[in-house]
Chain A
Amino acid sequence: MRAALLLRLGQAALVVLLVVATCFALIRLAPGDPFFSALDESTVTPEQRAEQRARFGYDRPVVEQFVRYATNVARGEFGWSHSRGEPVSLALAATIPKSLLLVGTAFLLAFSVGTAIGAWQGWNRESLLARATDGVGLVLVSIPDFVLAVLALMGPALAWRLFPVGGMRTEFGPTGPAGVPDLLHHLVLPALTLAVPIAAVAARLQRAAMLGVRDADFVRAARARGASETRIVTRHALRNALVPVLAYAGVQFSALIGGVVIIEQVFDWPGMGRLMLGAVQARDYPLVAGAVLVSSLATVVGTMVADIALLWADPRQRGRP
């Protein structure tokens, strides 16, 4: 077991390295000076430019540049954001918690509700309701998240006025603990919109897995011992059906983080995604690159956690890589 854990950690470390390298390569490959737009002579002093150049070793050989880049990243330095006049890391740090709130809520919703529904659908495959919800699930999986977001904006927000049209808080509204209900009110639509497609995918995966487990011999054997249906589902079926879902959790996580960008844009949520899009408009490349790097690293961590959870769920994996 320990060996398998170490192996997972080692693999994750390797992937992190490759991610940083890819980012570095993409930055280097972009035409022009990657760290400064040619238009911003006025906002950046020659001293700052020279300092950034030195720090990132701009005139040095490529390998050394990469090493510097990697060590800088490890220390939390991602360069200078000229559009915001502050280090990239500070700009990111301000927005990460807000995105985290959104992503975290969506993740919890998506996986808990999604797997529950999927498990029920798989176990009760013949029921009419299960089949109907299966069709709904197919539609939800297929609608892109930005479409869902716009629809959510049109319906519940604008037409029915159930939720605010955007933003994280009401302007000049209460802050601190008193402002929490207001925050939650603003959180609902974006979190739901982000969660629904992911939940639909999780449900389909779980449904397929449950279908496979439902007719398995060991389920029948448990029944032959006199176990009740509830016990069979909770103690035997679920644990085994979780395995395929966890295997795909990493990809789902990636989709979640990608989706955040669009959701934040549509709902005007002041998170890292919206920051990134703004940076694209302003040609603030270091900020864009920094945001992408942070998102990717988050995905790696999420995938690794899912892999470790997989070790718990499927004892067969503990002995081999």
Chain B
Amino acid sequence: MSVAAQEPATDSLLRVTDLTVRSARVERPLLDGVSFTLDRGRTLGVVGPSGAGKSTLALAIARLLPRGLSVDGASTIHLGGDALHELDANAMRAIRGRRIGYVFQEPALALDPAMSIGRQVAESAQVHGVPEGEAATRALEWLERVGFPDARRAARSFPHELSGGMRQRALIASAMILEPELLIADEPTTALDPTIQDQVLDLLARLRQESRTTLLFISHDLATVAERCERVIAIERGRIVDDRSATEAVAAYRARRAIPSFEIPTPEPGTPLLRVRDLEVEYTMRGLFPWGAAATRTHTAVAQLDLQIARGEVVALVGESGCGKTSSANAILRLVEPRGGSVLLDGLEMGRLKREPLRRLRRRIQLVPQDAGASLTPHLTAEACVAEGLEVHGLAEGATARRKARELLAELGLPERVARAVPRELSSGERQRVAIARALAPDPDLLICDEPLASIDETSRAQVLTVLSTRRARRGLALLLISHDLDAVRRLASRVLVMYLGRVIEHSVGDAALVAPRMPYTQALVAAIPTGDPSARLRRSLLRGELPILSPPSAGCSFQPRCTHPLKDERCSAERPMLLPVGPAQPTHHVACWHALQAP
């Protein structure tokens, strides 16, 4: 979607002046004097940290604010020629759905679980007077347009039977069915994986162009917004702090977000700290009846994983949900029993250890889980959580342990009051750092981090990275970094592994796998992760369809059903490709694809 192809603005579609929204419970107004204009046919992005008031803004425009929130009398909202703030309930109802379409964040929650998809999509038309039969036909049309291969079948399905991406497409269909003038998308893809996110946003862009809809796009991620919108508004604490074109906004963002570079050490010779060989993790799901063939279904979460980390090294594991990275971490830590393979820590086979020696060994290999907030025991203070790391391994007790815990929390930039607070009282960024502190307390040799920088704002990010790299320099702390954040991965990791459906499909020493990916999936993944620069995007659509919910095909390449590589052939479905070096000149970059190898 290139910016130059836009029509010249004819008039302003949405004009918001002095919008102030107050809540009975909180002193500070949720929105304070917000004013902006959105011209017909344009795209406007709204960014800001969580709690800034972005959703409140969107809801206020559509007059969908929850009870207890009120709009000031001085605020005005104009849609075309109409003053929305003055309309009565019935008139507003007629506008919602017909002139304003709304796409919500969590499709799982925004769809009625007890009603079929088709009926919900048709409902959007029916409530505005379209007769039932015609509404049903239109619903089918739109389900097709948003990408459902079998629209009839989809119409009969219920929300819980669809994946996240498909649910969101259905929501989009229900919002667009009457081709509204204004489409408000509130974090429409935040809950989805990068490649799916990309697909859904592409869909949105296409539909938008076909129907000439004006778009108000809300997200916490500036990069995503900047790639899809012409103009960006930043909101913080209820006020607009910035209003400029997307390109300008991205430049400023890049400057702020710069990650200090750390030197990447060469791996130490000798026994690697962690050596994983041929790891296999299977989950068995019980069928309905405890007997017979339907009794158990096994799902292979991880297969043939080989991995090696030396002291002080940072290895990155990249992939989307379902690729097996979390299962790998759990298996390495022995939180789940792998079905096969071996995990050696300093030459010691973890699988052979009994319960107590294994527990003691945990001191050396720690985890920072993905949802750090949920990983903190709700009734323990931050101090107690971190101190526990010391107590259970006999490194300190009582008052000493608490003192050391406080020191560690301070090192990560957390103020005094955090130590005595319970998780409920902390922000998600603070909770993340508490979890990191807890993991660092027993002074481990290896730290497995699952998306450690996700919820942390920029200033704290630098602090966390400093702490980690200091430990690395002084104590040889090694990191297994699981992350989507390609910037961080490129700067920190000495080795990158890309996983898809339980297998490593590409890996490289250094960041070759991300800078010059050879495997179609990696290429799509890298392309899908927003960098903020629309023209730099690789606009090749190299995949289609969604992640399969069940296990992948047992023969051939697991990516093959979705792959659209021009050279795809029968070999792809017959033989599983092995990890081979890309070419003789690149012995450290391996890829598992029959067609990705350089011609000799």
Contact = CB atoms under 8 A, between A and B. Distances in A.
Contact flag (A, B; Cβ within 8 A): yes
Interface of A: 3-4, 7, 126, 215-218, 220-228, 231, 235-236, 239-240, 313-316, 319-321
A125 to B, nearest CB: 9
A202 B110 CA distance: 27
Contacts of B98: 226
Nearest to A219: B112
19 contacts: A216-B109, A217-B109, A218-B113, A221-B102, A221-B110, A221-B171, A223-B64, A224-B64, A225-B96, A225-B97, A225-B102, A226-B94, A226-B124, A226-B127, A227-B97, A240-B113, A315-B114, A315-B158, A320-B288
A231 B111 contact: no
A11 to B, nearest CB: 12
Question: Which of B97, B113, B289 has most A Cβ within 10 Å?
Answer: B113
A215 B111 contact: no
B90 to A, nearest CB: 8
B354 interface: no
A228 B91 CA distance: 11
B62 interface: yes
B95 A215 contact: no
A250 to B, nearest CB: 20
A218 B110 contact: yes
A221 B111 contact: yes
Contact of B127 (A231, A314, A316): A231
Could you tell me the dominant secondary structure of chain B's interface residues? loop
A217 B104 contact: yes
B174 interface: yes
A226 B106 contact: no
Contacts of B171: 221
B112 A236 contact: yes
B114 A240 contact: yes
B114 A314 contact: yes
Contacts of A220: 64, 104, 110
A240 B124 contact: no
Contact of A3 (B110, B128, B288): B288
A316 B113 contact: yes
Contacts of A235: 115, 123
Contact of B106 (A217, A224, A320): A217
A315 B113 CA distance: 7
Contacts of A3: 288-289
Contacts of B81: none
B456 to A, nearest CB: 27
A231 B111 CA distance: 15
Contacts of B64: 220, 223-224
B67 interface: yes
Contact of A225 (B67, B109, B124): B124
B93 interface: yes
A216 B104 CA distance: 12
Interface of B: 62, 64, 66-67, 93-98, 100, 102, 104, 106, 109-115, 123-124, 127-128, 158, 160-161, 171, 174-175, 288-289
Contact of A240 (B102, B112, B127, B158): B112
B123 A225 contact: yes
Nearest to A228: B93
Contacts of B102: 221, 224-225
Contacts of B158: 315-316
A224 B98 CA distance: 10
Contact of B114 (A228, A239, A319): A239
Contacts of A321: 288
A231 B126 CA distance: 11
| 8 interchain residue pairs of minimum CB distance | A226-B97, A217-B109, A224-B102, A225-B97, A221-B110, A226-B96, A225-B124, A315-B158
Contacts of A240: 112-114
Given A224-B62, A227-B127, A7 B288 contact: yes
Nearest to B90: A228
A225 B174 contact: yes
Nearest to B124: A225
A234 B288 CA distance: 33
Question: Which of A4, A7, A226, A239 has most B Cβ within 10 Å?
Answer: A226
Nearest to B62: A224
Contacts of B67: 126
Contacts of B97: 224-227
Given A217-B106, A316-B160, 15 more contacts: A4-B288, A217-B104, A218-B111, A218-B113, A221-B171, A224-B64, A225-B96, A225-B123, A225-B174, A226-B124, A236-B115, A314-B114, A315-B113, A315-B114, A319-B161
A319 B67 CA distance: 36
A313 B124 contact: no
Contacts of A239: 112, 114-115
Contacts of B115: 235-236, 239
A226 B99 CA distance: 10
A321 B294 CA distance: 13
A151 to B, nearest CB: 38
Nearest to B106: A217
Contacts of B123: 222, 225, 227, 235
Contacts of B174: 221, 225
Contacts of B106: 217
Nearest to B95: A226
Nearest to A226: B97
Contact of A228 (B100, B124, B127, B161): B127
Nearest to B59: A220
Contacts of A222: 112, 123
A231 B113 CA distance: 16
Contacts of B175: 224-225
A231 B112 CA distance: 13
A314 B111 contact: no
Question: Which of B98, B102, B114, B171 has most A Cβ within 10 Å?
Answer: B114
B74 to A, nearest CB: 25
Given A224-B102, A236-B115, A314-B114, A215 B160 contact: no
A314 B288 contact: no
Given A226-B128, A227-B123, A227-B127, A217 B110 contact: yes
B227 to A, nearest CB: 26
A160 B128 CA distance: 54
B60 to A, nearest CB: 13
Contacts of A228: 93, 127
A236 B111 CA distance: 10
A126 B128 CA distance: 29
Contact of B66 (A126, A215, A314, A320): A215
A319 B97 CA distance: 33
Given A215-B66, A314-B113, A315-B158, A225 B288 contact: no
A239 B95 CA distance: 26
Given A220-B64, A320-B288, A321-B288, A225 B127 contact: yes
Nearest to A314: B114
Nearest to A218: B112
Nearest to A217: B109
Nearest to A216: B109
